[in-house]
Amino acid sequence: MKQFLAAAMLAGAIALPMTALAADYTIMAPAGPGGGWDQTARAMQDAMTTTGISGNVQVINVPGAGGTIGLAQFAQEANGDPTRLLVGGYVMVGAILTNNAPVKLDAVTPIARLTGEYEVIVVPAASELLSLADLTTKLKADPGAVSWAGGSAGGTDHITAGLFAKTVGVDPKLVNYIAFSGGGEALAAVLGNQVTVGISGYGEFQAQVEAGALRVLGVSAPERISVIDAPTFTEAGVELVVQNWRGVWAGPGLSAEQTAAITADVEKVVNSESWKQTLATKGWNNTWLPGDAFKAQLAKEIDATSAILKDIGLVQ
């Protein structure tokens, strides 16, 4: 009702050219407006309308518990409905495990992985830590003395910190991880010298790195990223690659033809100018991986994530 009212006011304010085209889609972002999943869903909406895949695309937000609330609702509502899509990502994998969610990712149909972002470890410019080697030395000497600021417990940032410790031979349970709720609180803690290091996606820190207020110690990518002036973890001798990816799912109970049709539509989105432009402005990488390959990769990641969350002590 309210949405309708706002939409009506909007339509009154700005005359939108409305044309009815082929398929209608409803995309669920299992998070509040403004976050990465919401932005992904809205970018898909925009690409679908501009390329004429669909004239009527709606985005709905079902926030809560790392996407698991939206996932449960989606699995139920979208059963056998080929017009419904769900945006999600790696954070969901961890959230399902830590919340012991009743509805898991096997309850929906994986369509494709879309984008990815790598994690970076940063320190304030004035920090005594100059390289990943310095960090490793300090971490080995006294794991508790290194405080890591990042997003919520069990999320990608926490998992990366745990994996980093494990790879350099420190018990992940001893990682002194300080969870901050999203939206820059972790960044403020790093800038204010409240913690030793910050760990998050590069986008969170980009402006401060460019302004010289923060220094990147390392990137979780497999090879160097042109825009980030820092070595990868692997280059620095820490054999670790982590990608915070986002993807799209459809409901359960679809036929092979329906799944193929949805995949073809999503592929058109990914190849559209509008989508490419979005990736460029937001600094996301295209990590297109459709169908069964995505499914296999997902299964591997669920196993690995489950193992590290047990090591950290968040999952029994």
Partner 1 sequence: MDTFALLLQGLAVAAQPINLLYALIGVTLGTAVGVLPGIGPATTVALLLPVTYKLDPAGSLIMFAGIYYGGMYGGSTTSILLNTPGESASIVTALEGNKMAKAGRGGPALATAAIGSFVAGLIATIALAFLAPWVVKLALAFGPREYFALMVLAFVTVSAAFGDSALRGLTSLFVGLTLGIVGIDLQTGQARLNFGVPDLLDGIEITTLAVAMFAIGETLYVAAQGKRAPETVEPVRGSLWMSARDWARSWKPWLRGTVIGFPIGAMPAGGAEIGTFFSYATEKKLSKHPEEFGKGAIEGVAGPEAANNASAAGTLVPLLTLGLPTSATAAIMLAGFQQYGLQPGPLLFTSNPQLVWGLIASLLIANFMLLVLNLPLIGLWVRLLTIPKPWLYAGILLFATLGTIGANPSLVELGMLLVFGLMGFGMRVFGFPIAPVVVGLILGPMAEQQLRRALAISQGDVMVLVASPISATLLAIAAVALILPLVLRAMGRGRILSEVATDND
User: CA 113, 115, 119, 122: dihedral to nearest 10 degrees?
Assistant: -170
Residue nearer to partner 1 on the CB measure, 19 or 281: 281
Question: How many helices and strands, by DSSP H and E, does the chain display?
Answer: 11, 10
Q: How far apart are CA 89 and CA 142, in angstroms?
A: 33
Q: How far apart are CA 5 and CA 212, in angstroms?
A: 45
> Which residues, including other chains, have CB under 8 Å from residue 270's CB and lie 6 or more apart?
112, 114, 286, 288
According to CB under 8 A, which one of 28, 69, 197, 298 is a site residue for partner 1?
Answer: 69
H/E element holding 82? none
Q: How far apart are CA 216 and CA 142, in angstroms?
A: 22
Residue 52 interacts with partner 1 (CB under 8 A): yes or no? no
Structure tokens at 173: 């349970």
Of 175, 209, 32, 195, residue with least CA distance to 186: 195
Residue nearer to partner 1 on the CB measure, 300 or 316: 316
Q: Which residue in the block uniquely carries the two structure tokens 């790879």?
A: 167
Stretch that binds partner 1, among 19-27, 62-70, 126-134, 258-266 (CB under 8 A): 62-70
Q: How far is CA 155 from the centre of its chain?
A: 9
Residue 26 interacts with partner 1 (CB under 8 A): yes or no? no
Residue 314 interacts with partner 1 (CB under 8 A): yes or no? yes
Site for partner 1 in 228-267 (CB under 8 A): none
Q: Rounded to the nearest whole angstrom, what is the least distance from the CB of residue 113 to partner 1 in the complex? A: 22
According to CB under 8 A, which one of 131, 147, 167, 287 is a site residue for partner 1?
Answer: 147
Q: Rounded to the nearest whole angstrom, what is the least distance from the CB of residue 292 to partner 1 in the complex? A: 30
Q: How far apart are CA 270 and CA 111, in angstroms?
A: 12
According to CB under 8 A, which one of 21, 23, 133, 213 is a site residue for partner 1?
Answer: 213
- Pairing mode, strands 109-124 and 285-290: antiparallel
Structure tokens at 121: 């470890």
**Residues listed for the chain:** 316
Residue 48 interacts with partner 1 (CB under 8 A): yes or no? no
Stretch that binds partner 1, among 26-34, 161-169, 218-226, 286-294 (CB under 8 A): 26-34
According to CB under 8 A, which one of 18, 19, 20, 192 is a site residue for partner 1?
Answer: 192
Q: Rounded to the nearest whole angstrom, what is the least distance from the CB of residue 104 to partner 1 in the complex? A: 13
Q: How far apart are CA 144 and CA 165, in angstroms?
A: 12
Residue 42 interacts with partner 1 (CB under 8 A): yes or no? yes
Residue 157 interacts with partner 1 (CB under 8 A): yes or no? no
According to CB under 8 A, which one of 133, 189, 225, 304 is a site residue for partner 1?
Answer: 189
Q: Which residues bind partner 1 (CB under 8 A)?
A: 1-3, 5-7, 9-10, 13-14, 16, 32-35, 38-39, 42, 45-46, 61, 63-65, 68-69, 72, 98-99, 101-102, 144-145, 147, 152-154, 158, 176, 178-185, 187-189, 191-192, 194-195, 206-208, 210-211, 213, 280-282, 314
